[in-house]
Amino acid sequence: MTAYLAKHAEQVRLAAERIGAHIRRTPVLVSDLDPDLRLKPECFQVTGSFKPRGAFNGVLSLMESGERPKGVIAVSSGNHAQAVALAAATVGLPALILIPEDANPAKVAATRALGAEVIQEGITFANRERRLREVMAERGYVLVHPFDDWDVIHGQGTVARELLDDEPGLEVIAASLGGGGLLAGTAISAKNHSATVKVVGVEPEAADDAYRTWKAGSIQTLAASPKTLADGVRTTAIGGRNFEVMFVNRLVDEVVTVSEDEIATAVQVAWSRLHLALEPTGALPLAAYLSGKLPKGRIGLILSGGNANLQTVATLLGTH
């Protein structure tokens, strides 16, 4: 094991200790799809996605670091927003979240219900980073980045750490890939467990910046926010820290892409056969599995969340 991997794996272990009282240890499920398949459904997590793991580790680390911040700020399409809102409320900090105008209304409502201030008016995927800098300067709040942040990455790594603790014989682990926080954390935990575990990232064909990055060996950026059912992975590029973990240090073995039809089928299978209320982003690894795009062996799928737009799901299930 390299010193790099050992250092980050130790931070994942510390994150697990730090956040343990605030998150759920989600179960590992079997299904009738395949006796060698294991499912880690983070739709059962607090707020309905894996995101509180990284958000709590980020916020609690801030509180441990010294001077109490005035508040925390984030940009998010919904799941990270809810996670930061909950983590901030738990420690008594104000939270301000910038959410694009076209985000899932249910995720926006849930974020407000958790006590966060939400700014949506005039916020788009194209301008949100600029607006974030402006509002940070106005308020003096500390950023909890959705993926390009070591504390967040280490927190997300606790998903795979739990999965491999429960199922140490897994040979392949697949996770959704947007900005790279979940996959980078997964790669750290998986390769620390065994160098032979294959780590696979799954993203939509319509949002294939990470696939292009993997092939090119440098960060590739999409020209515009992609249009995909998987609204949680509409980032235009992965983060620098995530690139370092996944591709510079080669802790991720492969990136695969799935079509919108394959994502739709995975959502249908999740709801009708697995009885799991997954959102399209959470179903990405299942889409890759069902379409035969993952390596053979004992496979673990990290199903990242279940905060679905019910109108979208109703349409998908109606075509089943």
Active-site residue flag, 51:
yes
Q: Which of 211, 202, 209 is nearest to 286 (CA)?
A: 202
Rounded to a whole number, what is the distance in angstroms from the first to the last CA of the chain? Answer: 46
| Residue of 49, 61, 225, 304 with catalytic role | 304
| Residue of 40, 51, 107, 198 with catalytic role | 51
Cβ atoms of 142 and 84 within 8 Å: the answer is no
- Other CB atoms within a 10 A radius of the CB of residue 224 amount to 9
Cα 247 to Cα 193: distance, rounded to the nearest angstrom: 18
Active site residues: 51, 304
